[in-house]
Amino acid sequence: MNLQALPAFDDNYIWMLHDGVSAAVVDPGDAGPVIAALDAQGLELAAILVTHHHPDHVGGVDELRPRLKGPVYGPAREKIPQPFEPLTDGSRIEVLGLRFDVMDVPGHTAGHIAYVTHDDGASPLLFCGDTLFSAGCGRLFEGTAAQMHQSLSRLAALPGSTRVCCTHEYTLSNLKFASAVEPGNAEIADYARHCQAVRAQGRMTLPSTIARELRINPFLRWAEPAVIETAIAQGAPDRSPVHVFAALREWKNRYR
Ligand SMILES: [Zn+2]
Ligand SMILES: [Zn+2]
């Protein structure tokens, strides 16, 4: 199975899986890059997977329908272009012979879902939209900090080898914030230097892995003493993981 990321807009990636004959795409905000990739590689479009309703994730769905030989899958609790097969926590789908388990991950939007390939020995693939980013997480547009904390906790519990295929290339700016949260974390500094070189070459910093995110992502590190101290300095009322998470998320909204 081939995994490709098709750049779209300023900083989106439309993830495409294909087996040389058929392809599936995740969150096609723009049909153009998908059609170009299908044509260039002679692929048929077998499925579209949607994580949440934002236009930069669903904007290309209707334009792709004439090419589509299978279903559009999407979050049961959100308004996305009809028709689609509604999915919710615990749903299972098979796409290109891979089994995907669906998780509810509310916070960025109220009905956001994530797709993770069933662990069959290979490194699982996680398509998490705008919930978990490399070294960051999505803004809380519709959900609460408690919901997002719960959603991120569930993603953090996936196998360390899980490949994190999020939608946006925000890694460098997220790492700048991560260094401010944890100035003493050498791995964040090292990884920031690595990602600067990667971006300078025009390459992408994704996918990441759950194991790496557990070491560098302040929004998964609510139990680290240094992270807790920073959160308290930023106004967290106590050391509870939800309050630590909420204070960091608030700070990130203001951080430049
Ligand atoms: Zn979004
Ligand atoms: Zn987005």
**pLDDT value at position 122?**
77
SS3 206: coil
**pLDDT value at position 118?**
79
**pLDDT value at position 221?**
98
Q: 58 CA to middle of ligand 1, Å? A: 10
Nearest ligand atom owner, CA of 166: 2
Q: 167 CA to middle of ligand 2, Å? A: 6
121 or 214, which is more confident? 214
Model pTM? Answer: 0.97
If we measure between CA atoms, which residue out of 35, 48, 225 comes closest to residue 127?
A: 48
**pLDDT value at position 102?**
98
Q: 68 CA to middle of ligand 2, Å? A: 23
Nearest ligand atom owner, CA of 169: 2
Does residue 256 have a pLDDT over 90?
A: no
Token pair, residue 69, equals: 């030989």
Task: Report in angstroms the alpha-carbon separations of 95 from 5, 33, 101, 158, 231.
Answer: 17, 21, 11, 20, 41
Q: 130 CA to middle of ligand 2, Å? A: 5
Q: Up-side HSE of residue 39: CA atoms within 13 Å toward CB?
A: 7
Token pair, residue 126, equals: 């996680």
Q: 226 CA to middle of ligand 2, Å? A: 30
Strands 72-75, 85-87: pairing kind:
parallel
Q: 168 CA to middle of ligand 2, Å? A: 6
Nearest ligand atom owner, CA of 110: 1
- Residues marked as catalytic: 52, 54, 56-57, 108, 130, 168
CA distance linking residue 64 with residue 47, whole number of Å: 10
Peptide bond into 207 cis (omega under 30): yes
Q: Name the residue type at position 78.
A: E
Nearest ligand atom owner, CA of 30: 2
Does residue 45 have a pLDDT over 90?
A: yes
Q: 42 CA to middle of ligand 1, Å? A: 30
Residues with CB under 5 A from ligand 1 (ion): 54, 130
The proportion of the chain whose per-residue pLDDT surpasses 90, expressed as a percent, equals 97
Task: Give pLDDT tens digits for 146-180.
Answer: 999 999 999 999 999 999 999 999 999 999 999 99
